[in-house]
Chain A
């Protein structure tokens, strides 16, 4: 039982390059989330998916797109990376609607945009 996995762990991009961050969970959770965390700041929600086939914007969606490929996988895409997107990205999942709806996090992707 791996929980939530993310790839890659580290990435360096040049301004304007694109990339996709991958996330998968094996807990059969219905909801999945993408956050970014910047130094000295809390986690900010980028996008979330309440269930397979649905996605919604969070607090800071500009510059990002997401795909809920199936119940297990939720990817985050940067179409044209900017230095302001340098951050640590965390994927999370939860079993919303259950008695235990806490979030479980992946290990994060550390992204630097030059």
Chain B
């Protein structure tokens, strides 16, 4: 079983739409959670960390559900520039490895 699983998509949405991605993880000892954004042929860049109480950064909201072992990313009022692949990343406590999902591709259309 993969450590981190994501729906690969693609999610095709119109501008202005709200879209949500989920990601499940298998290691209940995971302590740090992140969403990264990766543009085509570029390096992954941190979008936001995910905190236990959930957190928001502008149009982006991240949630953590430890009981069900998943994290989510909600994007409101989608922009064309949001088109990218979104990677879910988890890091078990005190463990020097990060586990990446395969990514969810988002296409925002005019």
Contacts and interface: CB of A to CB of B under 8 A. Distances in A.
Interface of A: 31, 33, 40-43, 45, 48, 50, 56, 58, 88, 90, 94, 96, 100-108, 110
Contacts of B49: 100, 102
Given A40-B102, A41-B102, A42-B87, A48 B44 contact: no
A31 B89 CA distance: 16
14 contacts: A40-B8, A40-B102, A41-B102, A42-B101, A42-B103, A43-B100, A48-B97, A58-B97, A88-B41, A90-B43, A94-B98, A105-B45, A108-B42, A110-B41
Given A45-B97, A48-B96, A107-B42, A101 B102 contact: no
Contacts of B41: 88, 108, 110
Contact of B34 (A33, A102, A107): A102
Contacts of B98: 33, 45, 94, 103
Interface of B: 4, 8, 32, 34, 41-46, 49, 87, 89, 91, 96-98, 100-103
Given A41-B102, A42-B87, A101-B91, A31 B96 contact: yes
Contacts of B8: 40
A45 B96 CA distance: 11
Contacts of B34: 102
A50 B94 CA distance: 11
A90 B87 CA distance: 15
Nearest to B85: A42
